[in-house]
């Protein structure tokens, strides 16, 4: 059974204070690893899909990286509008269903 | 804007009742999945439909059922509602077996069971 663990559960940063969120996974096979952002009361917003170890993707202040056992979401010089819950999910080969972690709730204070 | 629309956005039901939630997938996407997200947790996979057939199911009882229509829109039906069914229900659409794999979610339907 695929398992995804995200840490920390919650993270408080000052504006401009860079940090990283961790997503550890155990899978029998990996088709893709997904990162989403979710604002309160909203559906998850797609950020990145990573497919193989060593891959990196960037979008504005966010950069996602992937190894064989974990993924990191690096946030550089965050702003208050980056406050949200960040979800990580894995997708098995041959299927479109996702197994999610519990999320990291990020709060960025001005 | 993901192009995935869900209705209704909020609803309240009584324990034992039945509910139907609806989803229109992004144009051209032939695969629809449903997820349940309890407060403070990550989404959990309920089931997936591809070409109007159920194509994968998570650990949910048979009182959770669904349909996919020829235009790829979908319904989630839950019978004999229980208090623990209170959650955000999310619909996701994608292209099956796509090499550029992106899965988009709608804004969800909030279900409260009292």
Helix (H) or strand (E) segment spanning residue A46: strand A45-50
Q: Which residues of B touch A9 (CB under 8 A)?
A: none
H or E stretch covering B113: strand B109-113
Q: Which residues of A touch B (CB under 8 A)?
A: 4, 6, 31-32, 34, 36, 41-46, 49, 87, 89, 91, 95-103
Please determine, for residue B98, whether its predicted confidence score (pLDDT) is greater than 60: no
DSSP A62-96: EEEEE-SSEEEEEE-S--GGG-EEEEEEEE-TT--
- Whether the pLDDT of residue B12 is over 90: the answer is yes
pLDDT of residue B26: 81
- Tokens representing residue B73 in the block: 């829109």
CA–CA distance, A103 with B18 (Å, rounded to integer): 30
Q: What is the 3-state secondary structure (H, E, C) of B4-23?
A: CEEECCEEEECCCCCEEEEE
Share of chain A above pLDDT 70, in %: 100
Mean pLDDT, rounded, for A32-36:
95
d(CA A27, nearest CA chain B) in Å = 16
The tokens describing B93, both together, are 């659409």
pLDDT the model gives residue B51:
87
The more confidently predicted of residues A30 and A9 is A9
pLDDT of residue A95: 73
B92: pLDDT strictly greater than 60: yes
Closest residue on chain B to A6 (Cα) = B42
Give the tokens for residue B111: 């279900």
Q: How close are the terminal C-alpha atoms of chain B, in Å?
A: 32
Q: What are phi and psi of B63, to 5 degrees?
A: -70, -10
The pair of three-digit structure tokens given for residue B36, joined into one six-digit string: 């349940």
- Residue range A61-97, pLDDT digits in tens: 999 999 999 999 999 999 999 999 999 999 988 777 8
């Amino acid at each position: 059974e695929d398992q995804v663990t995200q840490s920390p559960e919650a993270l408080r940063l000052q504006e401009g204070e860079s940090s990283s969120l961790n997503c550890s996974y155990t899978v029998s096979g990996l088709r893709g690893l997904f990162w989403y952002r979710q604002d309160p009361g909203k559906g998850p917003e797609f950020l990145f899909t990573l497919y193989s170890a060593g891959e990196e993707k960037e979008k504005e202040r966010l950069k996602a990286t992937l190894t064989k056992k974990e993924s990191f979401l690096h946030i550089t010089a965050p702003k208050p509008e980056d406050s949200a819950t960040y979800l990580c999910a894995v997708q098995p080969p041959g299927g479109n269903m996702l197994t999610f972690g519990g999320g990291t709730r990020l709060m960025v204070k001005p | 804007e993901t192009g995935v629309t869900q209705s209704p956005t909020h609803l309240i039901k009584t324990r034992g009742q039945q509910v139907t939630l609806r989803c229109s997938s992004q144009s051209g996407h032939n695969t629809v999945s449903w997820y349940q997200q309890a407060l403070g947790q990550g989404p959990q996979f309920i089931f997936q439909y591809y070409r109007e057939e159920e194509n994968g199911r998570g650990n949910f009882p048979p009182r959770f059922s669904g349909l996919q229509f020829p235009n790829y829109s979908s319904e989630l039906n839950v019978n004999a509602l229980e208090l623990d069914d209170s959650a955000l229900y999310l619909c996701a659409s994608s292209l099956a077996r796509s090499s550029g794999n992106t899965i988009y979610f709608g804004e969800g339907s909030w279900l409260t069971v009292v």
